[in-house]
Amino acid sequence: MKKTKKKIRDSVSKRFKVTKNGKVMFGHQYGSHKKLHKSKNRIRRQKEPGQLTGEFAKKVKQMLGEL
């Protein structure tokens, strides 16, 4: 019986990264568009990566072939 290769979703691999400890990280959206209308605090917050938790993080890991 042949072993099938797990296919990874390209769109998910571009948007999310899984750290060594298994956390799912993402970059915030709307970071580089119309910056003059956003507060400096908001721009600073959007530079930092966000962390996914819960059921959606499990689905992302599954689509990346981590589970």
Does 43 map to a domain?
Answer: yes
Q: Please report, as a single letter, which amino acid is at residue 23.
A: K
2 assigned to some structural domain: no
Residue with structure tokens 């996914």? 52
Per residue of the chain (67 residues), give pLDDT as tens.
Answer: 777 777 888 999 999 999 999 999 999 998 888 999 999 999 999 999 999 999 999 999 999 988 7
How many domains is the chain built from? 1
Q: What is the pTM (predicted TM-score) of this model?
A: 0.78
Is residue 14 a part of any domain in this protein?
yes
Task: Tell me, yes or no, whether 17 lies in a domain.
Answer: yes
- 45 falls within a domain: yes
Domain CATH for 38:
4.10.410.60
Residue 13 phi/psi, 5-degree rounding, is -70, -25
Asked whether residue 26 is assigned to any structural domain, the reply reads: yes
Round to whole Å and give the CA distance between 54 and 66.
15
